[in-house]
Structure 1
Amino acid sequence: MKKNLGLVHSCANRFRGRFIEYDDLFSAGCVGLLKAIDGFDENRGIMFSTYAVPAILGEMKRLFRDGGALKVSRSLKDLSMKTIRERERYMKEFSREPTLSELAEILEVSMETVVEALNVSIPPMSLTLQDEDGESQLDVPIDVIDDRIADTISLNEVINTLDSQDKQLILLRYYQNKTQSETAAVLGMTQVQVSRREKKLLQKLRIKLSG
């Protein structure tokens, strides 16, 4: 399990700043990881990370559905109400929205604290259809990022299996947006060699990612 904890950290980092402690996110992710380990079948022909990430994210999202994201300290709630009052007062007096820096100066707090206080005042959004009683569940807005996270983590995992020169070639071409000629100069290769090697590497990565 220890070697897969990086998956949990990668997923938990996506939810930073959403009013749930990182340790709580990590703990929930570990539960999802254990479930993934129990249910994974390597004979299915998919990478473990591709299978595990949705399970890890599912446990983290459960914290939000269970109300974890609404557990805000009393001091932050009070500051949120004060921020709203000052914002409304400013708008009446100057006929425009105050900037974050102006609110921060009025409240004598940092701009980051103002942002946090304003986020508390944003109402939850219903992400589910109405049930048979005509009521909707209230969930905290969460981006639909499961597939993107799974793809990114799986890709990074596969790239890390390459030797150092091949890994550098991919990083230069697709992460630093270098041309083939610029990449060739860095790696001490010709542009033709880079082109040929790049095609082989992309084919190799596609095969690994497809299982």
Structure 2
Amino acid sequence: MSKDSDASQPSKGVPRDYKTASPYSSRPSQGITPELLSLVKRTALHLKGRLPKNVEVDDLMQSGLEGLIQAMDSFDESRNITLEQYSKTRIRGAMLDDVRRMSQTTRTTIGFKREHRAAVEKLTIRFGREPTGREVASYLGKDIDTYQKERVIIAGSDNPSDDTAITTSLESDDIEPSPHEDLEKRELISNLKDSINELPERTQLILSLYYQDELSLKEIAAVIDVSESRVSQILSDTANRLRTKLSINQ
């Protein structure tokens, strides 16, 4: 067997997906060698120690391989630098670019979650029941298709390998609750109303101004003559207190 064919054989200890020879058949000397694969792996492991736990080494390696291939494609052999030296920056840069993209996606998903949850909480208090998807979408100033797409994104982030969760997210607005589920919701709303009625009168007023009249924190502060930060603190403390009380009663 020739040396060229030996060099194209996978090396031990390298994941199967990464045992790929260079696609540049006109430049066989530029194949992805075990040394270059090792560089990708070392870079991935080094970065992994500095990144959040949800970032996987395999994902970093995949990004790094793409950076490596780009480096191989643009490498100029006439320059006074080795391919390995030239590839280091491209490999690391490709990994960090993908991490940034993942981080942006995560921030977007968290934003959707917070926005949807706040809208549901407000509308639940306003209507005395859990709002429908269309009501939440209307409150947020979005059409129902946009709202459902956002719910799919949220469901996918919570259950990335669960297609059922994503399908359920799309269909849940069209499904009538079972008698048992409907009773549970009614009991939850009833408990919520009782808990609100037990709050101090000023706190009830703040809740009413914020959730029903939709006044801003600044406007509420002017009405009850306290600072805006104090209004924010009261709303936050009250929400936490109600959640705790409802979880105990369930």
**What TM-score comes out, normalization by structure 1 length?**
0.32
Q: Which has the higher contact order (CA 8 A, sep 6+)?
A: 1
Identify, as 1 or 2, the structure richer in helix.
2
TM-score by length of 2: 0.27
Q: If you compute each CA radius of gyration, which structure gives the higher value, 1 or 2?
A: 2
